[in-house]
Structure 1
Amino acid sequence: MTGFDNPLSPCDMGAMADSQQILCIGSVLWDVIGRSAATMRAGSDVPGRITRVPGGVALNIAMTLRRFGLAPALLTTIGRDEEGDELITRCNQMSLLTDFVYRSEDLPTDIYMAIEGGNGLIAAIADAHSLEAAGDKILRPLADGTLGSADAPYPGVIALDGNLTEALLSEIAQSPLFVAADLRVAPASPGKAERLLPLLGHPRATLYVNKEEAGYLCQRGFETAPEAAQALVERGAPRALVTDGGAETADATGGGLIVATPPEVMVTRVTGAGDTFMAAHIAAETRGQDRATALNAALSAAASYVSGDVPQ
């Protein structure tokens, strides 16, 4: 195992599954992002910077969890191409566990491309076709006894992203492999939010969405995040955290609603902000923080990220 400060055997990982190790299931790919300080619109041609960095919802969450001292393990697919080898190397260098990654000879490594201007995200294309094509192959370690099985399901935290197909997410919602997990779920984008509908009824699921994504899940618009979070709980979600940019963020359960306002910062990037919020919230609750403290900790971490204070 390469790059871990404290290397763990599978037996060691099973012993710590419900405490420190967190499984991150979903997209691990290359982010190609063009950024400019200029205000942009369709057809704009402006100077800026273009970067290529490891990304994807599952990987963004894992990287933030690692910064908080947790032990993220990736369940995803990465091609056996040059881009995939480089991505595996970068993940190992960041002390992320890649032993359980499904590596296909036939599927290329996925990629995401985005354009960001001074006025926010202008456009993005996510090519996650390999992840979709791999299907349930990425879940084999949860079924074959490596991390769990149907008789002894994985008991720890699982961060799940909505880049999986609707069919696979529906399977996960009903699978005995996930009945004991603390399931933390996020859509990959507003356009994929409705894929999460089958997970609304999972008894141990927490949904992390923005206000627009909540609207897709509830099939109506919302004025505020607290309104959206309460509607998701009424729709069947055991717990929902809803963000709304710089406006109020809400954490709703059947037992009540908590609301907090993000710190005011200068926004220099937006791609990955929601993933950072989710990971920071998971990390705070893993440390035993109460709901209000965890919510504010997550908002602070996301603010630091969008301001550029956290390296990418």
Structure 2
Amino acid sequence: MTGRLDPGITRDMVERAVCPPPPDILCIGAVLWDVIGRTTAPLAPGADMPGRIIRLPGGVAMNIAMTLVRFGLTPALLTAIGRDAEGDTLLAEAARMGMRTDFVHRSDHLPTDRYMAIEGPEGLFAAIADAHSLEAAGDRILAPLADGRLGSDAAPWSGPVALDGNLTPDLLARIAGSPLFAQADLRVAPASPGKAERLLALLGHPKATFYVNLEEACLLCRRRLSDAADATAALLALGARRVIVTDGGRGLADADGNGLVQIRPRAVTVQRVTGAGDTLMAAHLVAERRGIPRDEALAFAAEAAARYVAGETEI
């Protein structure tokens, strides 16, 4: 062998294969299988109705990553996935879509997590999120941010991070004060109303932007709030730097110390709801990355979520 490169292979191609460029954004949190049953018939507790049942990649971090990929970005997943057949298939699907999966923590003893939801004509009827493996993995999912692969205490990651509330309250509290996140553009989602209060420790983070719906805002503030604008004001008063609050088709608001932007999304016929908030968050991040003005960025994100809810966007 002469050590020469094949004429069709450039040195840059070799270097990129050995040392791929850093990801555009880190998606930290739940990556699991969604099992979703949908029916067009009215639902009541105990009802047994005809419908469709699908399985697809899901979890807040995964939903955000899928939207980012559709907009041409390369996200990296920081999560825990079991060394089981379901985990192998899930990671292969993520890599096929264009995500970086080389930073994922694989567990020999924990199964791949799952989420199960039932959706009816009025939207989400009930859901159960089993993220026990992610919670058990703890800060092991953050190892690449400390060991030099993505950053370190001395040179922390300075790009955007999408962080979800499926992590334990203890880990989220440690993230709030960690030097590993001191320079990051932190975008935070609660995962569900049932986990919204886990984010209280992050409210004072100087570089965090929170994406919550009105119900989640009420839980964080521990009182009733009238609309999206009222909710942003209440969360800013609690110490949040910036907040985007959604209130279904009634409107959404983006507020920080520089003012308030409000829009009303277009009305659509609801075809699906699981993942809609994650889609909005990812699209908003993309818009801001492109330098789109604040009011237009909010409208861009609202339209992406509307298209998703209406079934106009491929999953």
Give the TM-score, by structure 1 length.
0.95
The structural deviation recorded for 1:311 is 1.3
CA distance in 2, matches of 1:141, 1:152: 12
Residue of structure 1 in register with 2:274 after alignment? 271
What per-residue deviation string (whole Å, max 9, x for no partner) do you get for residues 110-134 of structure 1? 0000000011111000000000000
1:147 alignment counterpart = 150
Q: Which residue in the other structure is 1:210 paired with?
A: 213
- Give the structure 2 partner of residue 291 of structure 1: 294
Q: Which of structure 1's runs of 4+ aligned residues deviate more than 2 A?
A: 6-14
For 1:150 and 1:260, the matched residues in 2 are separated by 40
- Residue by residue over 1:153-205, the C-alpha shift from the partner in whole angstroms, topping out at 9 and shown as x without a partner, is 00000000000000000000000000000000000100100000010000000
**3-state SS, counterpart of residue 13 of structure 1:** coil
8 A contact 1:10–1:146 mirrored in 2? no
8 A Cα contact 1:27 1:56, kept in partner? yes
What is the rounded CA distance, in whole Å, between the counterparts of 2:309 and 2:16 in structure 1? Answer: 33
Partner Cα distance (2:255, 2:70) in 1: 27
Q: What is the alpha-carbon distance in structure 1 between the residues aligned to residue 155 and residue 122 of structure 2?
A: 49
User: Which segment drifts farther, 40-49 or 29-38?
Assistant: 40-49
In the alignment, structure 1 residue 25 sits paired with structure 2 residue 33: no
Pick aligned residue for 1:13 from 18, 21, 24: 21
- Tell me how far apart the structure 1 counterparts of residues 16 and 195 of structure 2 sit (CA, whole Å): 35
- Asked if the contact 1:226/1:259 (under 8 Å) is kept, the reply is yes
Aligned counterpart for 1:230 among listed residues 230, 233, 238: 233
The one-letter code of the counterpart of 1:88 is: L
Measure the CA separation in 2 of the matches of 1:136 and 1:10: 27
* Corresponding letter in the other structure for 2:21: M
Helix, strand or coil at the partner of 1:258 = strand
Give the SS at the match of 1:241. strand
Task: State the SS of the aligned residue for 2:203.
Answer: helix
CA deviation after TM superposition for structure 1 residue 13, in Å: 3.1
2:194 equivalent to 1:195:
no
Match of 1:38 among 41, 64, 67: 41
Counterpart CA distance in 2 for 1:130 and 1:198 is: 22
Gap regions ≥5 residues in structure 2: 1-13
Give 1:12 shift: 5.2
Q: Which residue of 1 aligns with 2:306?
A: 303
Gaps of 5+ in 1: 1-5
Whether the 8 Å CA contact 1:10–1:147 is kept in 2: the answer is no
Aligned partner of 2:10 in structure 1 is: none
Partner in structure 2 of residue 135 of structure 1: 138
Higher Cα Rg, which structure: 2
Q: Which residue matches 2:63?
A: 60
In structure 2, relative to structure 1, the CA distance for the partners of 1:186 and 1:115 (3 Å cut) is same
Q: What is the distance in 1 between the residues matched to 2:216 and 2:77?
A: 25
In structure 1, the residue matched to 2:283 is 280
Q: Report the CA distance between 1:11 and its aligned residue.
A: 5.5
The 8 Å contact of residues 113 and 124 in structure 1, kept in 2 or not, is answered as yes
The one-character-per-residue Cα deviations of 1:52-85 (angstroms, maximum 9, x if unpaired) are: 0000000000000010111100000100001000
From 259, 263, 272, the equivalent of 1:260 is 263
Map Cα deviations across residues 189-239 of structure 1 (whole Å, 9 max, x no partner).
Answer: 001000000100000000000000001111111110110011111110000
CA apart distance, 1:276: 0.3
Could you say which residue in structure 2 is the equivalent of 1:168?
Answer: 171
